[in-house]
């Protein structure tokens, strides 16, 4: 250290040498003289190294001045490691390597040859056939004994086949002929030394094979060498290998290229393809290995010590026995958490047992079970939901038969390097067997027997629990990840029946709730998107909302097996298969793997004291939890806790109660009425959270209080402008969640601007994602710092930058919203930081950083364009899809359109001019990005707000088209427009289409069926709005020209109707009653007025279709009709195919369309499953490098009718390729089907 004082006479050195510390300066004690001056201009030694007693310093070296960087000497010190770290190093035991590797065809063939031979010799297939034949005639106990005897013999055959299929090789140097000859010579010399030693002992040795090997390796007269000469030659071989190690990769590449050349000469093109694949894989492995080594943080491995939190403090355990005892005890407690579920205790346990295989379960599914009055309410709801799901599904059970095709399809595509199996029968065994039809059938037969009889193999009852550090250096046991490695064949059987067949049927029947985001085709970012869009809509509508984040604890490990059994049976899984899987888990013995190796004693459950949970690493855990969570979500919705959405102008209904991704849960609670007070809404939120917590407890799980929190979105209005209340402005509500001990735990209320991490994205209800960008930039700068500290070739650094760093920092771009300028500023700082490690001048301008490579730029991605691309891809894949993201995108777009009030495609409008009309959110930022980068985004006619009458126009379109009103006035007019529920001119005029309805000029609120935001306009807002109405009409409040007939259904409530003969007037008072008036023939009538009187209350509904605008007297006994208009009646006939083609917006796409007949046969053959569709693309760069073409053809198998569509597209040299042409063909085919 640099003490800035004399290192031997200063105050600090003297203090360090006192008797309480007894530290000595090691340069003096090691070399026998004082250290020289450290600073090149100094005269005194100011740098030294002080150590406590017992630290042995062997050597100390101080360099000359200017020998290194800086103006001080650098020091090199050599310490004895044992004196510093101690002698008790833990001996790390690594897992045994595998001889069988299916990627090497030679070893796979040798393994199969040996296994097939053993199987046939021991008549394993005949024995299995006998077991199948006897399965119905012998007792389950006898069958189990026979099955396990067969399985043990089969396991021994597999282990024997692996032992004889290959030899372990040392890969410390890459293989090539040049390195191989020296390795062989070294090994032969070692073998020669062993032969000489055995001969000296008088033993006979057959050296025939050895002599031939020496001739091949060019070792002359080996038996004349002395032991000393042999040792010298071994060392020479080792030295030569060390010299070759640096050039071994190049020698390896040259060797593979020679192999390709020889394969071409003999015409073996398959070998050429395989060798090229080896070259490519090894090149990528080397490059990515360097990138990962340079940029990835150290990974936590198997622990050699653990810490446990106790009431008295933290205790650390370092010995193997202590670690295994503590880990086993606490993991057993974790697996028994679900035993607290109400269904596992009391009278319910007597009825359902541990496996849920009783008659009571069958009665629940069939709906005949009589719930006892003392039964837990939330358990009853789960059971009722199970009955509902069971009644929706077909009566056909899911098949538990395993075919050899099932076996081969999965295992031939499986990753053989996945760890599994305490018995050492790993994935590689089954992957190799899948290449043999005979052995595959044998394995499938074994699994079918177990699945249909419900009798498991004893081997399946042992599992390996791998204890890993989640974070490097964090050795607290509760912070470690415990991965359960089951037997590979048992795990695959679970995947086949539960994850594949059960979930396929569940998806086909629509039984997986949209709230579950851990499902096929759905990404975690879609859950974030739905939460973002929910908050956007609440901010645009100014409604109260609550978002409790209530994460589950121990998720898969805290599921009660009776509930799991009921859920799986509701999904039509055979009971024998459920009992098979759950019984194995309940009595499984877990062996622990730590840094000391695999434990000799295990932990687990018994039949009388079982362990629960689904098991981390179990193939049925995700699908089993999906089945249980389906019951949970259904029960939650039965209690009325769900946010109902109705399309703001379309009326499309959608319900979303929560966002659930495995254990991460966010409840979406929306105010059920706009008249609720804050206290009433909090009570609703608390009820919902309590019910959800009780439902979770009923399944055996619990809510982890340390990870739970909640937001409340509530509003206040300042001069008519809505503002979200901050945490200080909200009463100090105390929300609680139920716990297993019966005592509720409080969870904190977060400010709407405080971001929290959910599914990898930092978000808040306010819509500010600045924190997320900051966190991602921290990740990026840390990646760059690691790259800078470690030597990595620039080309590999660029590889890591494009395909490792950029995906990290752009995660969540499809869901988040942020100002493009702030986003670009953050990324430019990151780009500047990364340029130096990538061997580029960091002062290069922004243009050349992001310019494409073809114009000599670096090609760094533009973050704004990258974000826009993510959002466009999201819209292309999710729009109009029956997913949560698809529904929420449609719902939020309609709210966005109603908020702005424009009837045209707002995304194509001038953002700088109209952005003041919209609240910040996902759609507004998408609009901003499209405008910023000049991207044309078109919405179909069905996605635009429909106008009501011929000649109708949107109010805000007319207001904003003139410069008479300022943008501040626009906001005032828009505020009153939404308050009154108006959109177009048809809303403000009477039935004559010209006269302004007097109600429009009042301060009364909306009576529209469309969804408008909550507004509280001021007097000034009303005054501005009245001026706008006068501007749109005239001083007499009449339009210059009358609107035409209705072309769409009005969204204001229809109350008054008149008969066709104009003699009776009708007023709707309720869905089942109305009041009828009779025309006063004696009253004086004009062209614009008719008088009706004598109201009579009538029951039922009238059939009148003509709307009327009226003026009532005070007591409603006399009514004067101002004007009438026929209501809109939609056309009853379907347009023809050619009419729909002509209605398409881009007619240039249909110029080459040819069809037999009128094209109506396409729709008919599609419904009858007789339509054959085909598309193809073409790209010929020799003819044109920037042109793609495609064709799409459809044909009816029954009639033989054909239709075709061809396109030719000119783009640019970069975009045009075969892939683009194929995509165009697919799009053309989809357009044909869509129009049909």
Contact yes or no for 627/512 (Cβ under 8 A)? no
pLDDT in tens, 173-224: 888 999 999 999 999 999 999 999 988 888 888 888 999 999 999 998 888 8
Taking the C-alpha atoms of residue 1021 and residue 971, their distance in angstroms, rounded to an integer, is: 9
Interior angle at CA 211, CA 208 and CA 212, nearest 5: 90
Please spell the DSSP secondary structure of 363-410, one letter per residue. HHHHT-----TTS-HHHHHHHHHHHHHHHHS-SSPPP----HHHHHHH
pLDDT in tens, 787-830: 998 888 999 999 999 999 999 999 999 999 999 999 999 999 99
pLDDT the model gives residue 199: 87
Q: Is the pLDDT score of 395 beyond 70?
A: no
pLDDT the model gives residue 365: 93
Burial of 260 (0-12, 13-18, 19+ CB in 10 A): middle
CA-based nearest residue to 773, from 758, 759, 761? 761
Average pLDDT over residues 714-737: 94
Contact yes or no for 885/891 (Cβ under 8 A)? no
Instruction: Count other C-beta atoms under 10 Å from residue 95's C-beta.
Output: 14
Contact yes or no for 1188/1220 (Cβ under 8 A)? yes
Q: Where are the alpha helices (DSSP H) in 884-921?
A: 884-900, 911-914
Contact yes or no for 896/944 (Cβ under 8 A)? no
Q: What percent of the chain has pLDDT over 90?
A: 61
3-state secondary structure of 1028: helix
Local confidence band at 600 (pLDDT 50, 70, 90 cut-offs): confident
| Comparison of pLDDT for 201 and 756, the residue scoring more | 756
Average pLDDT over residues 59-79: 86
Q: Is the pLDDT score of 393 beyond 80?
A: no
Q: Is the pLDDT score of 737 beyond 90?
A: yes
What's the whole-number average pLDDT of the chain?
90
CA distances, 134 to each of 123, 130, 149 (Å) = 17, 6, 15
pLDDT the model gives residue 113: 95
Average pLDDT over residues 1156-1177: 87
Taking the C-alpha atoms of residue 877 and residue 525, their distance in angstroms, rounded to an integer, is: 13
pLDDT the model gives residue 299: 78
pLDDT the model gives residue 264: 93
| Comparison of pLDDT for 668 and 1100, the residue scoring more | 668
| Choice among 88-92, 607-611, 781-785, 1037-1041 with the minimum mean pLDDT | 88-92
pLDDT the model gives residue 1086: 64
pLDDT the model gives residue 419: 85
Instruction: Count other C-beta atoms under 10 Å from residue 765's C-beta.
Output: 25
Average pLDDT over residues 945-958: 93
pLDDT in tens, 488-525: 999 999 999 999 999 999 998 889 999 999 988 899 99
**Crossing angle of helices 621-638 and 377-392, rounded to 10°:** 110
Contact yes or no for 671/681 (Cβ under 8 A)? yes
Contact yes or no for 960/907 (Cβ under 8 A)? no
Average pLDDT over residues 321-330: 88
245 contacts: CB under 8 Å, gap ≥ 6: 172, 173
Instruction: Count other C-beta atoms under 10 Å from residue 892's C-beta.
Output: 24
How far from each other are the two terminal CA atoms of the chain, in whole angstroms? Answer: 81
pLDDT the model gives residue 589: 92
Contact yes or no for 558/384 (Cβ under 8 A)? no
pLDDT in tens, 239-295: 999 999 999 999 999 999 999 999 999 999 989 998 999 999 989 988 999 899 889
524 contacts: CB under 8 Å, gap ≥ 6: 517, 661, 759, 760
pLDDT in tens, 151-177: 999 999 999 999 998 877 777 888 899
38 contacts: CB under 8 Å, gap ≥ 6: 2, 45, 46, 47, 62, 72, 73
Local confidence band at 1132 (pLDDT 50, 70, 90 cut-offs): low
**Helix, strand, coil percent values for the chain (each to nearest 5):** 45, 15, 40
| Comparison of pLDDT for 1146 and 383, the residue scoring more | 383
pLDDT in tens, 1169-1228: 888 999 999 999 888 889 999 999 999 988 889 999 999 999 888 888 989 999 999 999
Burial of 252 (0-12, 13-18, 19+ CB in 10 A): buried
Sheet holding 1187-1196, edge to edge: 1154-1155, 1202-1210, 1187-1196, 1171-1178
């Amino acid at each position: 250290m640099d003490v800035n004082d004399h290192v031997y006479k200063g105050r600090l050195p003297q203090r360090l040498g006192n008797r309480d510390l007894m530290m000595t300066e090691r340069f003096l004690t090691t070399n026998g003289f004082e250290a020289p001056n450290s600073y090149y201009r100094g005269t005194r030694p100011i740098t030294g190294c002080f150590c406590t007693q017992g630290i042995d310093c062997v050597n100390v070296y101080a360099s000359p001045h200017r020998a290194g960087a800086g103006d001080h000497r650098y020091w090199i010190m050599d310490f004895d490691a044992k004196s510093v770290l101690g002698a008790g190093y833990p001996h790390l035991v690594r897992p045994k390597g595998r001889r069988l590797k299916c990627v090497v065809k030679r070893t796979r063939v040798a393994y199969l040859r040996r296994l097939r031979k053993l199987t046939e010799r021991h008549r394993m297939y005949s024995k299995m056939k006998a077991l199948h034949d006897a399965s119905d005639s012998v007792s389950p106990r006898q069958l189990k004994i026979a099955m396990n005897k067969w399985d043990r013999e089969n396991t021994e055959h597999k282990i024997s086949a692996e032992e004889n299929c290959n030899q372990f090789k040392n890969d410390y140097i890459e293989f090539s002929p040049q390195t191989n000859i020296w390795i062989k010579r070294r090994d032969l010399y070692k073998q020669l030394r062993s032969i000489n030693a055995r001969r000296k002992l008088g033993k006979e040795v057959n050296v025939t094979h050895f002599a031939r090997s020496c001739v091949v390796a060019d070792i002359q007269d080996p038996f004349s060498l002395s032991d000393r000469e042999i040792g010298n030659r071994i060392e020479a071989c080792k030295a030569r290998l060390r010299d070759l190690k640096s050039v071994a990769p190049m020698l390896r590449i040259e060797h593979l290229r020679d192999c390709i050349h020889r394969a071409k000469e003999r015409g073996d093109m398959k070998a050429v393809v395989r060798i090229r694949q080896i070259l490519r894989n090894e090149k990528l492995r080397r490059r990515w290995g360097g990138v990962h080594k340079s940029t990835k943080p150290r990974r936590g491995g198997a622990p050699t010590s653990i810490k446990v939190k106790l009431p008295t403090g933290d205790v650390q355990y370092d010995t193997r026995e202590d670690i295994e005892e503590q880990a086993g005890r606490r993991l057993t407690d974790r697996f028994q958490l679900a035993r607290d579920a109400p269904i596992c205790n009391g009278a319910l346990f007597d009825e359902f047992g541990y496996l849920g295989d009783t008659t009571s379960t069958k009665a629940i599914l069939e709906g005949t079970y009589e719930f006892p009055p003392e039964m837990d309410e939330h358990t009853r709801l789960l059971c009722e939901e199970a009955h509902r799901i069971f009644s929706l599904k077909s009566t056909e059970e899911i098949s538990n038969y395993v075919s050899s095709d099932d076996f081969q399809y999965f295992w031939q595509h499986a990753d053989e390097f996945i760890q599994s199996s305490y018995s050492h029968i790993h994935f590689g065994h089954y992957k190799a067997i899948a290449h043999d039809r005979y052995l595959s059938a044998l394995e499938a037969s074994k699994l079918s027997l177990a699945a249909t009889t419900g009798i498991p193999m004893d081997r399946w009852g042992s599992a390996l629990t791998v204890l890993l550090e989640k974070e490097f250096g964090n050795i607290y046991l509760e912070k470690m990840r415990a991965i359960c490695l089951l037997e590979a064949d048992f795990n695959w059987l679970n995947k086949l029946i539960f994850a594949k067949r059960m979930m396929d049927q569940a998806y086909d029947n629509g039984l997986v709730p949209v709230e579950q985001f851990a499902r096929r085709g759905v990404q975690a970012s879609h859950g974030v998107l739905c939460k973002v869009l929910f908050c956007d809509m609440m901010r645009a509508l100014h409604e109260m909302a609550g978002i409790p984040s209530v994460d589950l604890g121990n998720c898969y490990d805290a599921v009660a097996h009776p509930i799991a059994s009921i859920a799986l049976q509701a999904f039509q899984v055979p009971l024998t298969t459920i009992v098979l899987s759950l019984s194995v888990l309940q009595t499984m013995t877990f062996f622990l793997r730590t840094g000391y190796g695999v434990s000799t004693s295990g932990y687990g459950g018994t039949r009388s004291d079982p362990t629960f949970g689904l098991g981390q690493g179990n193939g049925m855990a995700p699908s089993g939890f999906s089945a249980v969570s389906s019951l949970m979500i259904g029960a939650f919705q039965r209690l009325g806790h769900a946010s109902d959405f109705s399309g703001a102008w379309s009326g499309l209904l959608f319900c979303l109660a929560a966002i659930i991704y495995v254990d991460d849960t966010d409840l979406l609670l929306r105010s059920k009425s706009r008249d609720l007070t804050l206290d009433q809404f909090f009570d609703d939120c608390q009820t919902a959270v309590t019910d959800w917590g009780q439902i979770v407890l009923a399944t055996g799980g619990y809510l982890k209080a340390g990870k739970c929190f909640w937001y409340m979105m509530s509003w206040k209005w300042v001069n008519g402008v809505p503002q979200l209340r901050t945490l200080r402005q909200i009463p100090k509500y105390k929300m609680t969640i139920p716990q297993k001990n019966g005592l509720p735990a409080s969870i904190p209320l977060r400010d709407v601007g405080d971001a929290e991490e959910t599914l990898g994205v930092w978000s808040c209800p306010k819509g500010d994602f600045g924190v997320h960008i900051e966190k991602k930039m921290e990740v990026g700068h840390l990646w760059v710092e690691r790259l800078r500290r470690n030597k990595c070739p620039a080309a590999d650094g660029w590889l890591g930058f494009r395909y490792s760093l950029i995906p990290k920092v752009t995660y969540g771009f499809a869901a988040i919203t942020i100002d493009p300028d702030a986003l670009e500023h953050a990324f430019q700082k990151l780009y500047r930081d990364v340029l130096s490690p990538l061997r580029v001048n960091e002062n290069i301008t922004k243009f050349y950083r992001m310019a494409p490579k073809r114009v000599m730029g670096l090609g760094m991605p533009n973050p704004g364009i990258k974000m826009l691309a993510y959002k466009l891809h999201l819209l292309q894949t999710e729009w109009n899809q029956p997913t949560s993201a698809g529904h929420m995108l449609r719902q939020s777009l309609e709210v966005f359109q109603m908020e702005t009030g424009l009837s045209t495609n707002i995304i194509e409008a001038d953002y700088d001019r109209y952005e003041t009309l919209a609240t910040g959110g996902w759609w507004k930022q998408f609009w901003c990005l499209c405008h910023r980068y000049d991207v044309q985004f078109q919405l179909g006619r069905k996605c635009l707000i429909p106008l009501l009458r011929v000649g109708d126009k949107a109010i805000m379109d007319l207001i904003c088209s003139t410069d008479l009103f300022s943008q501040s006035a626009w906001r005032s007019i828009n505020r009153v427009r939404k308050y009154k529920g108006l959109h177009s001119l048809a809303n403000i005029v009477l039935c004559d289409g010209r006269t302004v309805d007097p109600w429009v000029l009042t301060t009364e609120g909306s009576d529209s069926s469309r969804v408008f935001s909550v507004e509280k306009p001021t007097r000034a807002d009303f005054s501005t709005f009245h001026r706008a109405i006068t501007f749109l009409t005239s001083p007499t409040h009449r339009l210059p020209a009358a609107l035409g007939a209705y072309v769409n259904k009005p969204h204001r409530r229809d109350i008054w109707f008149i008969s066709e003969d104009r003699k009776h007037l009708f007023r709707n008072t309720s869905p089942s009653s109305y009041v009828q008036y009779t025309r006063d023939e004696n009253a004086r009538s004009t062209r614009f007025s008719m008088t009706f009187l004598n109201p009579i209350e009538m029951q039922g509904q009238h059939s009148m279709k003509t709307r009327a605008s009226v003026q009532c007297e005070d007591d409603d006994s006399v009514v004067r009709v101002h004007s009438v208009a026929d209501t809109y009646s939609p056309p009853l006939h379907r347009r023809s195919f050619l009419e729909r083609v002509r209605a398409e917006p881009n007619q240039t796409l249909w110029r080459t369309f040819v069809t037999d007949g009128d094209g109506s046969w396409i729709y008919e053959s599609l419904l009858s499953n007789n339509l054959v569709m085909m598309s193809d693309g073409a790209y010929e760069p020799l003819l044109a490098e920037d042109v793609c073409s495609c064709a799409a053809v459809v044909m009816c198998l029954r009639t033989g009718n054909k239709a075709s569509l061809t396109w030719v597209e000119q783009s640019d040299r970069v975009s045009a390729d075969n892939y683009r042409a194929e995509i165009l063909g697919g799009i053309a085919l989809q357009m044909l089907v869509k129009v049909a």
